Amino acid sequence: MTSTPAVPVTVDDKGDQPVPPITRRVKQRLTSRGATIAAVIIAVIWTVPTAGLFISSFRPEENLNRDGWWNVFSNFEFTLENYADVLVSGGSQSPNLGQYFVNSLAIVIPGTLIPLVVASMAAYIFAWSNFRGKDTLFVFVFALQIIPLQMALIPLLTLFVNLKIGEFHVLPPGSYAQLWLAHTIFALPLAIFLLHNFIAEIPGEVIEAARVDGAGHATIFWRIIIPLSVPALASYAIFQFLWVWNDLLVALVFSGGTGDVAPITQRLAELTGTRGGEWHRLTAGAFVSMVVPLIVFFGLQRYFVRGLLAGGLKG
């Protein structure tokens, strides 16, 4: 009687979970000397412009207008007036970012959570429900990604304006509701496609066992699908959050450009001044706007990596 040779299995750095062979091979390739050198070069090229912007945000206005940021090494002079001007100064014509910062949070949080919930529900139905025309409908939803966003802005705005019940506007002009719905509509095709690929790979035995125990779709979705899909949900949440936070075009169209609803990106565009010479304010304001995205990315980084690799490494 011959015995089957055991497949070598290693454990991760914490020593508590087995690492599949293919995952180990991919990890070895990604940690080779050549990959490390390439990663360092890419990181430097990617970081230099951001570093220059960061240094410029602390340089006095006259220095910034006179020469480039690299001259800081020969003229070591810094100031906090740029940040004080952006964050503290008051008045109707001031560059204060406080109200716009709050507006961006009011836009980006629902603009991320709403499409995430709707897309995860749709992805579950496409993955684990059987109904006539499911595959055709899924292809249609996926094909919606090819429609340029710019082509849909005006028709969608017209729809929102004309959506009335008597004289009552269902989506009042210049409101957060229009922005939430617009970002949700533009996000759903890609979100459904990405989440469907992840949810469809959940073992069918888990779903069948829950059905045998009498669980309905709602119970399966909230107690099984959502907990097992956290990496994919977090990965897409980062993409959507960054997209909505950095968006200017959609916000200008649906917010009406008013300070009550306009996001921080609109104020950043105005900080350059009428002649585009207020770079000391713009550089400081840019880094203020980067604080929240950086917190979100680093806070969800481990889920982000797991979500990107999920389903692609099996062994």
Q: Which of 117, 309, 297 is nearest to 231 (CA)?
A: 309
Q: Is pLDDT at 237 greater than 80 in this prediction?
A: yes
The answer to the question of residue 5 being in a domain is no
Mean pLDDT of 18-27: 58
Q: Are 179 and 255 in contact (CB under 8 A)?
A: yes
Residues 154 and 257 in one domain: yes
Q: State residue 308's pLDDT score.
A: 59
Residues 143 and 203 in one domain: yes
Mean pLDDT of 127-154: 88
Residues 212 and 110 in one domain: yes
Q: Which of 115, 109, 117 is nearest to 218 (CA)?
A: 117
Give the range with max mean pLDDT: 14-28, 114-128, 230-244: 114-128
Domain that holds residue 267: 97-309
The answer to the question of residue 2 being in a domain is no
Q: Can you tell me which residue has the tokens 């240094």?
A: 55
Work out the pLDDT band at 89, boundaries 50, 70, 90.
low
Other C-beta atoms lying within 10 Å of the C-beta of residue 177: 14
Q: Is pLDDT at 81 greater than 80 in this prediction?
A: yes
Q: State residue 313's pLDDT score.
A: 42
The answer to the question of residue 6 being in a domain is no
**Could you write out the three-class secondary structure of 135-157?**
HHHHHHHHHHHHCCHHHHHHHHH
pLDDT over 70, % of the chain: 82
Q: State residue 4's pLDDT score.
A: 46
Last residue of a domain, one of 87, 105, 136: 87
- 79-106 burial, b if ≥16 CB within 10 A, otherwise e? eeebbebbbeeeeeeebbbeebbebbee
The answer to the question of residue 229 being in a domain is yes
Q: Would you give the DSSP letter of residue 59?
A: S
Number of structural domains, the chain?
A: 2
- Assigned token pair, 273: 């001044």
Reported as a single tens digit per residue, the pLDDT across 148-202 is 888 888 888 888 888 888 778 788 877 898 999 999 999 999 999 989 988 998 8
Residues 61 and 114 in one domain: no
pLDDT mean across residues, the chain: 81
Reported as a single tens digit per residue, the pLDDT across 250-306 is 988 888 767 778 888 888 887 766 666 677 788 888 888 888 888 888 887 777 666
Residues 40 and 184 in one domain: no
Residues 128 and 101 in one domain: yes
Last residue of a domain, one of 66, 87, 108: 87
